[in-house]
Each structure stands twice: as C-alpha cells, then as structure tokens.
Chains A and B, each alone.
Chain A
Amino acid sequence: MKKLSFHPCGNYRETYKQELNIFETDFGRLWLFVFLALLFFVAPFVISPYMLYILNTIGIAAIAAIELNILIGYTGQISLGHGAFFGVGAYAAAILATRLGLGFYIAIPAAGIITALVGMIFGIPSGRLKGLYLTIATLAGQFIIEYVLIQWDSLTKGTMGITLPPPQIMNWQIAGDKSFFFLIFVSLVLMTWFAVNIIRSKYGRAFIAIRDNDRAAEGMGIPIFKYKLLSFGISSFYAGFAGALWAYYMVSITTEPFNLGLSVEYIAMVIIGGMGNIPGAIFGATFITLLNEFLRFFTGVLMNVPAIASWGLNMAPLREFVFGLAIVLFILIEPKGLAEIWRIIRSSFRLWPFSY
C-alpha cells in the first residue's frame, strides 16, 4: 500500500508516468474524496433549497466552463459562440424529449452530440483562420444560431418556448432541486474526470502544442485542423450537455437567454477561474454565479431603499457594470485567475514561515 506523502521540496520526478499524475500528493486525493463525500452525502440534506438552487446553477455553469477551458485554455481557440451552442443543446434536448418522447438519459447525451456537430460546422473556419479571425467567425455563428432558434418556428416554437416533461428513469421521477442536484453533480464529476484525462492523453498534448505554437506543432506532424476541429467538437459536446441539463432543470425554455451575453459570461468564467486549468473553470463558474446572485440580491436591496428609489435611479445596470469591472480587474491584476490565487494560498501555507 502506498504511503501518504507530502509535497516534495523539489522536482523529483523520474518517470514520465509520475509527470502525468493527476494528484501531486496522496493528501490531495484524500481531500478530494472527503470533499466529494461531503458534497454528495451531506450538502444536499443540510442546506436550504435556495442554496441548493445556486449550487445546481454552479454545477451546470461549471460543465460549460470546463468545456470552454478545453477550447480556449488548452487549444487556444477563442470562441464567442458558446452561449448559442449551449442554446442548441437546450433546444435539441427539448425537441428530442417532446417530439420523439425520448428519456432524458438518451436526450441529454444526444443533445450533446447534435451540438458537437453544429459546433464542428462553425469550427471549420479554423482550418484557414486563426486568432482573432476565428473569434469573429464564432461571433457570426452566435448571431446566426440565435436567428435560427428564433425564426425556425415549426421546430423551436420561436419566442413561445418549449416546456419539457420531467426527466424519468424507471419509475423514479427527477423533480425538485434535490434530485436534480444528484443528476447535475454526478454529470459534473464524470465530465470533469473525462476532461482531466483527455488533457493527459495524446489529444490533450496535441491541443497544448497547437496553443503554444501552431506552426511548430504542424511541423512536428500534428494535423492541426483535425485537432482543432476535435477540440471544437469536444467543447461543443460539453456545451450541449450543459444546455440540455439546464433545459431539464428550468423545465421551460425560450430563446432569450442564449445571447452574446451568455457567451461572454462563460469566457469570463474561464478567465477569472484561470485559463488552462480544469479546477480553475469550476472556481470561475462558482465565482461568476455567486457574483450574479449577489448582485441580483444587492440591486434588489438598493431598489427598496426609499432614498434611492425616490431619486428614480435604476440600479439594475449596476450588475452589468460590476460584471465588466470584475473581468477587467482580473485581467489586469491576476491574469492567471482564481486557480493561481488558490495555488499561492496553498503554497504559502506549505512554505510558512519561509516564504521562498
């Protein structure tokens, strides 16, 4: 049996296998299991329904943010269209569930696959384009998908929206925050596990090579286009999966939320969490969701203060302002994001009292 080991004081890795280890120490793994146990067996039974709702939103956002991190943080392709891909997933699930009557356990992965195909179509320009041109192409994708969702009345019911049946497996109906909590977080754990492992594989290394220097990568024999497209596919699959979960969770969906603002929100999660860092994406999703909730609460309070209400000031735009400010401050002050802050805090505990 392995012994529990602490952080070594230098880099003592001798084999490639050690380099690929997910957990640097056994303590890391232990703490993760403790955390997961708390999350699954304690959290849903203790906290209030409102907190559970926030947790669920965080879970869905985290799946979407991990996905975008694979594309932006690891492959270096910036996409402004993931809000729309999320919407494609939500609609695909809704249509599969209402028209074809598929169960959620088929509809959600199928929605992911459909979104992956759509995402790969918009990834095709990446064969010729890079950097900002690709960003603009995905921006166009965002608007085109939004338009199709609104205008394709016969399939999406346009602005009316679609109401989904509650997901059911055997005779057990998933309804309410608590049972959704398990659905969402089991998916999140599986998706995170998959993402972490894909980054360790040949594919992940190819992604990183393309990010760091695409010309060198091609020179070394990595078929860039194939891998870029694959990265688009994987990330759209995640987006569609998250969208489908969201559609089931929200019960009824309209085209409204899937706008450019949502795409920007996801990128903000990736940047604030830390690019090229899977736990970072989860931190980012948590931060942005909590910030959103807090600002909603705060502006609500401000609106009810009689002095401010009597000025006739509308405090709702404050949300937008603070959101923008958070992005700007993170980029200027800590571009590596929350993951880096977390690393600094951890290592300062480890190194104390010698700060080097």
Chain B
Amino acid sequence: MEFFLQLLVNGVCVGLLYGISAMGFVMIFKSSSVLNFAHGELLALGAFFFLSLVTWAQLPVFVAFILTLIGCFILGFLIERFFLRPLIGEKLIFVIMLTVGLAAMFKGLILLIWGGNLYTYPEFLPPTMGLQFGAIYIAPVYSATLAISVIFLVLFGLFFKKSAQGIYMRSVADNQKAALSLGVHVRRVFALSWAIAALVASMSGIVLGIINGVNVHDLSSIGLKVFPVVILGGLDSIGGAIIGGIIIGLLETFTGGYLSPSLRDVVPYIVLVFILMVKPYGLFGLVEIERV
C-alpha cells in the first residue's frame, strides 16, 4: 500500500513536470498550429542559460531566474521572426522539418558550448518546502513544481480569458483569416506566442534541471515525451496538457514500479497509438469534423 501511494505521489509529480513542459508546446500549437519538435531543446537552452548565470556568473538565484526568462522570451521572439515567419502558409512538412532542423542546430550548439555532461545546480530550495504526509514524503522540488504549475495555470487562464492579447491569440487560433480581417495583428500574435512558449519552456527546463540534473540528451528526450501528453490532453488545451501530463506520469511510474523499468519509456507511446486510434482529438481537444 505504501509502495502504491509513493508511486502515486511520484507519478503525479513527474506528470506535473510533463504537464508544464507541454504547456509551452500547446501555446505554440494553439496560436499558430506549428508542431514544435525543438521544444526539448528550448527546455535545455533555458536550463543551461540558468546554469551559466548561477555557476559561472555567480548571480543570485532570483536574478538569474528572471534574466533567463527574459533571455528566452527574446530568443523565442527571434526564432519566430527569422525562421517561422517566412513559412507562414507553407506546407505542414516544411514547418515540421524546420523545427526538426532547429532542434538539431540547438542541440549541436548546446553540445558545443556546454558539452554532454550532467551538471547540477547548487542547492537553493529551502528544505522546509518539503512536505511529509505520514509515510509519504514530497521533496521540496516537487512541491515547488506543484506551486509553479498551479501559478502558471491560473496566470495563463486569466491571460487567455481576460487580457486583450490573450483574446487575440485565441481568435487567431480559432480562425486565422477571420481574425486578420477583424484587425488582429496576426504576426504579432505568432511572435508573442513563441516568446511566451520559450519563456515557459525555459522555466520548466530549470525545474527539470533541479530535479534530474542538466543534461542535453535527457532534456531533449522530454521534448519528445510531450507528444503523448498533448495528444492525450488535446493538442490545443492548456488544462488538458496538465491533466494529460499527470496521466502519462502515473502510467510511467506504475509500469516502472509494477511491470518492468524498461517498459517505462515506451508505455507513453503505446498509449499514444491507442488514443490516436480511439479518440484522436484527446480528452479536451477541439474536434474537427470533415465530411465528404
């Protein structure tokens, strides 16, 4: 029983991480229908920026965090401006392959600058943040993750429901042409959504780095694990990303705990194929109906 509970808690924690990693991905898809294969590399870039600022520049953690977020915001903006904008209206495969190419570029760049080693951040979360429920212990990192993901979920909810920019983004996601003709600055919306997505990605990269250490290969493979998560939750639902993340996290930890550790990494993809066959638009995704 205790084992089960510990697995449950671990699963939810890991799942939350997947959820917040997926949030940035969903953001981009929601506004510009681009599948971003470079998402894992964006996570890694954020984590490595933070690493350099904390260990090499010796900045205080809070300042480094803010600087990383700003840096990644600008980076996202630049990526959209120079790589994605020329492809507006192009075929799907070009857009997908462009992000794949970007992924290879970023990964090469990170490997060139920082190498493929495993780094760890200096300890900075206060141990008082750890939570103890009976026999179950939640490490400080995980409670911090929980807090961050709840905060961001609420913030994004408000942003999309209340702010003008958020409403523009939703309108563009819904129907690009109609939004354009009603005076929405579509290009600015795209740029903004990439910038915000990169920001969210860098944040989740930092959280992942705190937990697992910073390593390019691990972080970029998380970028691929985002796919089962978002398909399960629905490609264009941010809340769905969190719930999908939790479900995938639970599935992973339970198969890892009860069945076999090696199956752990494929189980999300097996589930993915099933979801795609049964309910392709996921739990909360928008269903597109086509008839001939």
Contact = CB atoms under 8 A, between A and B. Distances in A.
Interface of A: 72, 78, 124-125, 128-129, 131-133, 135-137, 139-141, 143-144, 147, 151, 215, 218-219, 260, 264, 267-268, 271, 275, 313-328, 331-332, 335
Nearest to A77: B93
B22 to A, nearest CB: 13
Contact of B104 (A132, A143, A314, A320): A320
Nearest to A263: B100
A222 to B, nearest CB: 11
26 contacts: A72-B93, A78-B92, A128-B280, A135-B35, A139-B227, A140-B276, A143-B266, A143-B269, A144-B266, A144-B269, A144-B273, A218-B292, A268-B101, A275-B93, A317-B109, A318-B108, A318-B112, A320-B104, A320-B111, A321-B107, A321-B109, A322-B108, A324-B100, A324-B108, A325-B105, A332-B86
Given A147-B266, A267-B97, A317 B112 contact: yes
A266 to B, nearest CB: 11
B83 A328 contact: yes
Interface string B253-285: 000000000110110011011001100100000
A131 B92 contact: yes
Contact of B108 (A136, A271, A317): A317
Nearest to B278: A128
User: Which one of A72, A325, A332 has the greatest number of beta carbons of chain B within 10 Å?
Assistant: A332
Contact of B276 (A72, A129, A218, A267): A129
A137 B105 contact: no
B102 A328 contact: yes
Contacts of A131: 92
Contact of B277 (A128, A322, A325, A327): A128
Given A317-B107, A321-B109, A136 B224 contact: no
A114 to B, nearest CB: 20
Contacts of A271: 93-94, 97
A320 B108 contact: yes
A327 B280 contact: no
B123 interface: no
A285 to B, nearest CB: 16
Contacts of B292: 215, 218-219
A62 B218 CA distance: 32
Contacts of A264: 100, 104
Given A218-B292, A331-B101, A335-B90, A133 B108 contact: no
Contacts of A324: 100-108
A208 to B, nearest CB: 14
Interface in B86-122: 86-87, 90, 92-94, 96-98, 100-112, 115
User: Which one of B110, B262, B292 has the greatest number of beta carbons of chain A within 10 Å?
Assistant: B292
Interface in B144-166: none
A332 B102 CA distance: 12
B141 to A, nearest CB: 27
